[in-house]
Amino acid sequence: MSNGLDDVVAAETVLSHVDGEAGRLIVRGHDLEELAGRVPFEEVTAMLWDGLVPGVSADPRVRFGEARERAFRTLSPLARNLSVLTPVEGMRLLLAALPDADEDPAFLAVGASAVAAAMAIRGAKGLPPVAPDPSAGHAADLLRMIKGAPADEGGAKGLDTYLVTVIDHGLNASTFTARVVASTDAGLLSSVVAGLCALKGPLHGGAPGPVLDMLDAIGAADNAESWLDGAMARGERLMGFGHRIYRVRDPRADVLKVAAAKLKNESNRIAFAEAVEHAALRVLQRRKPGRRLDTNVEFYTAILLDSLGVPREGFTPLFGAGRTAGWVAHALEQEKAGRIIRPQSRYVGPWPAQAA
Ligand code: ACO
């Protein structure tokens, strides 16, 4: 028995493969580096959904634009409830309000995730929602709906790179959750809500906000090693490091570091982040020798999204906005597999007393 299901194979998939020893992520036959920053999110999603969503490759940009508009019509009346919720809680509320009986639930799920993420980020600050522009690219429109002003080309490209980078990643905790829900035939939108609930934990998709808190607390490169050492002495985990599968550097970390470096005026921040990263790897090596802990996706996610002007509480919703495409693909693949996921537990509690 394995408490964390390590090494248990629970699904066959054509969608993505994580090679933890080589530090390689393959998405439908392509290395991540071939896709992120090169192929727009809408097209990568269409590729991911090929064979699962009928007619997906016919102009996905237009269909995502329509889906964002459709989602906005359903979700905007709920915006007034968002000011008492954190952005990820607000996104959870909004996605839970979508009807299961939609004629195009795959597109609606991704369109709604973008709309809900932006609406929840603004709503948490008491700001009104911004309606989507269906003619814009998905990432550009998402950034516009967050900020309330058109995104510049570099910013839109940076967010597009991010969405593609996190689109799918094997049978991670939230994807497994989405597949379990799909296996009961509960419907695609329920799988997506469940995926988001699993994603929000700090051990999974909730880490990048705390990465930024950590960088703020460290303050200057000179202070990094002693601060990080102190944190580990207190038994804390260093956010943005370690991974269940990767035993080397997470390839997504490099993709996002490159994307962040392309943004204007970010060279000082990247240099600081690099100094902290190197110090963290030295501290981890010293305090957890032989554990092979390295940088994960969340470390440079924090730098990139902060540079794009996204508030740190909005990082997990944006992760969800990208990963929804993957959850949808896995849920559809699971539905095709057609068997409810139902593992066993081993009972270690007391047995009823024998009748005398
Ligand atoms: N900082 C300090 N120590 C760590 C860290 C870390 N970031 N990660 C793992 N360790 C230590 C553990 O304490 C443990 O040591 P021990 O056996 O001496 O007690 C050892 O390394 C192995 O750790 P596990 O908990 O077995 O690793 P697991 O595979 O269960 O956890 C996880 C993976 C949850 C990602 C973990 O590395 C972690 O908590 N990292 C920090 C949070 C984070 O960055 N999460 C984002 C992950 S990426 C993603 O989900 C998108």
State how far the Cα of 242 lies from the Cα of 298, in Å rounded to an integer. Answer: 10
Cβ–ligand 1 contact at 239 (below 6 Å): yes
Residues in Cβ contact with 145 at an 8 Å cutoff, skipping those fewer than 6 apart: 114, 115, 118, 119, 122, 129, 130, 131, 132
Residues in Cβ contact with 329 at an 8 Å cutoff, skipping those fewer than 6 apart: 15, 48, 49, 52, 168
Say if residue 100 is exposed, middle or buried (CB neighbours under 10 Å; 0-12, 13-18, 19+).
exposed
pTM recorded for the entire structure: 0.94
Cβ–ligand 1 contact at 4 (below 6 Å): yes
Tell whether 318 is covered by a domain. Answer: yes
Q: H or E segment at 138?
A: helix 138-147
Cβ–ligand 1 contact at 301 (below 6 Å): no
- Whether residue 30 lies in the annotated active site: no
Q: How far is the CA of 293 from the centre of ligand 1 (A)?
A: 8
Q: Are residues 163 and 296 in the same domain?
A: no
Tell whether 343 is covered by a domain. Answer: no
Q: Are residues 223 and 109 in the same domain?
A: no
Closest protein CA for atom 4 of ligand 1: 237
Contact 198/174 with Cβ under 8 angstroms? Answer: yes
Q: Are residues 303 and 247 in the same domain?
A: yes
Q: Are residues 58 and 18 in the same domain?
A: yes
Average pLDDT of span 312-339 = 97
- Structural domain of 259: 208-307
Cβ–ligand 1 contact at 298 (below 6 Å): yes
Mark which of 286, 307, 328 sits at the end of a domain. Answer: 307
Q: Are residues 23 and 149 in the same domain?
A: yes
State how far the Cα of 301 lies from the Cα of 165, in Å rounded to an integer. Answer: 10
Alpha carbons within 13 angstroms on the beta-carbon side of residue 193 total 18
Residues in Cβ contact with 341 at an 8 Å cutoff, skipping those fewer than 6 apart: 10, 179, 180, 183, 334
Q: How far is the CA of 118 from the centre of ligand 1 (A)?
A: 30
Tell whether 275 is covered by a domain. Answer: yes
Q: Are residues 198 and 53 in the same domain?
A: yes
Q: How far is the CA of 238 from the centre of ligand 1 (A)?
A: 8
Cβ–ligand 1 contact at 168 (below 6 Å): no
Q: Are residues 213 and 120 in the same domain?
A: no
Tell whether 285 is covered by a domain. Answer: yes
Q: Which of the following is catalytic: 138, 169, 243, 330?
A: 243
Is residue 355 over pLDDT 80?
Answer: no
Q: Write down the pLDDT at residue 267.
A: 83
Q: Are residues 77 and 195 in the same domain?
A: yes
Counted domains in the chain: 2
Q: Are residues 126 and 240 in the same domain?
A: no
Q: What is the CATH number of the domain that holds 95?
A: 1.10.580.10
196-238, pLDDT tens digit by residue?
A: 999 999 888 987 789 999 999 999 999 999 999 999 999 999 9
Contact 328/110 with Cβ under 8 angstroms? Answer: yes
State how far the Cα of 65 lies from the Cα of 67, in Å rounded to an integer. Answer: 5
Tell whether 232 is covered by a domain. Answer: yes
Closest protein CA for atom 36 of ligand 1: 242
Q: Is the dihedral of CA 270, 273, 278, 284 positive or negative?
A: negative
Q: Are residues 165 and 107 in the same domain?
A: yes
Tell whether 28 is covered by a domain. Answer: yes
- Whether residue 298 lies in the annotated active site: yes
CB-CB neighbours of 244 under 10 Å: 16
Q: Write down the pLDDT at residue 356.
A: 60
Cβ–ligand 1 contact at 238 (below 6 Å): yes
268-318, pLDDT tens digit by residue?
A: 889 999 999 999 999 999 999 999 999 999 999 999 999 999 999 999 999
Q: How far is the CA of 284 from the centre of ligand 1 (A)?
A: 11
Q: Write down the pLDDT at residue 97.
A: 96
Tell whether 287 is covered by a domain. Answer: yes
Q: Are residues 195 and 64 in the same domain?
A: yes
Q: Are residues 198 and 222 in the same domain?
A: no
Token pair 């260093």 is at which residue?
238
Q: How far is the CA of 347 from the centre of ligand 1 (A)?
A: 28
Q: CA-CA distances (angstroms) from residue 339 to 2, 7, 312, 335, 355? A: 22, 21, 39, 8, 40
Tell whether 348 is covered by a domain. Answer: no
173-195, pLDDT tens digit by residue?
A: 999 999 999 999 999 999 999 99
State how far the Cα of 48 lies from the Cα of 59, in Å rounded to an integer. Answer: 15
Cβ–ligand 1 contact at 38 (below 6 Å): no
Q: What is the CATH number of the domain that holds 270?
A: 1.10.230.10
| Residue to mutate (ligand 1; options 245, 286, 296, 298; most atoms within 8 A of CB) | 296
Q: How far is the CA of 114 from the centre of ligand 1 (A)?
A: 29
Cβ–ligand 1 contact at 14 (below 6 Å): no
